[in-house]
C-alpha cells in the first residue's frame, strides 16, 4: 500500500456489457506519461490477463475475454496521473475471475479454460 488517494470513476455508457473506468491520482515529482506507462508495464508484466497499451482501451477489445486493458497518462496541467481501463464484466468481472481464482487455489495454471482474446478485434 502506497498511501496514495485514488478516485475511481466507472463510466455509464449505452452498452450491454463491459466496464469502462478512469482512475485519478496525484502525481509525484518527476512524473511523465512515460513513467506512468513504465510503472503499469512493470506492475503487470507477469499478469497474463492484463494488457497495458499506449492505446485507449475499449470494451469491444475485451468482450468475451478475461483480460483487463489499461493505459496511463500524466496531465501536467493538474499534476494528475490518469489510468483508463476496460474489461468485460460478464467474464473478468464474474465467472472468469472465479475460475482464475479456483485455478490458483487448486494449483493449476491460472489461465486454464480462460479466454485471453476478445470475441471481436
List, for residues 60-101, the tens digit of each pLDDT value: 999 999 999 999 999 999 999 999 999 999 888 888 989 999
Please count the CA atoms within 13 angstroms of the CA of 2 that sit on its side-chain side. Answer: 7
Q: Decide: helix, strand or coil at residue 70.
A: strand
How far is Cα 62 from Cα 31, in angstroms, rounded to an integer?
Answer: 29
What's the pTM?
0.88
Other C-beta atoms lying within 10 Å of the C-beta of residue 97:
16
Cell of 118: 476478445
Q: φ and ψ at 95, to 5 degrees?
A: -60, -40
Give per-residue pLDDT as tens, 10-65. 998 888 889 999 999 999 889 999 999 999 999 999 999 999 999 999 999 999 99
Domains in the chain with CATH codes: 6-106 (3.30.360.10)
Amino acid at each position: 500500500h502506497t498511501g496514495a488517494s485514488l478516485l475511481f470513476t466507472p463510466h455509464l455508457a449505452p452498452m450491454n456489457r463491459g466496464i469502462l473506468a478512469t482512475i485519478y491520482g496525484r502525481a509525484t515529482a518527476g512524473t511523465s506519461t512515460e513513467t506512468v506507462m513504465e510503472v503499469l508495464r512493470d506492475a503487470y508484466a507477469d499478469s497474463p490477463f492484463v494488457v497495458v497499451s499506449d492505446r485507449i482501451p475499449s470494451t469491444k477489445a475485451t468482450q468475451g475475454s478475461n483480460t483487463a486493458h489499461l493505459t496511463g497518462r500524466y496531465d501536467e496541467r493538474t499534476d494528475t496521473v490518469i489510468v483508463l481501463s476496460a474489461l468485460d464484466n460478464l467474464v473478468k468481472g464474474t465467472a472468469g475471475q472465479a475460475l482464475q481464482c479456483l485455478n490458483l487455489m487448486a494449483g493449476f495454471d491460472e489461465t486454464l479454460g480462460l479466454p485471453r482474446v476478445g470475441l471481436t478485434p
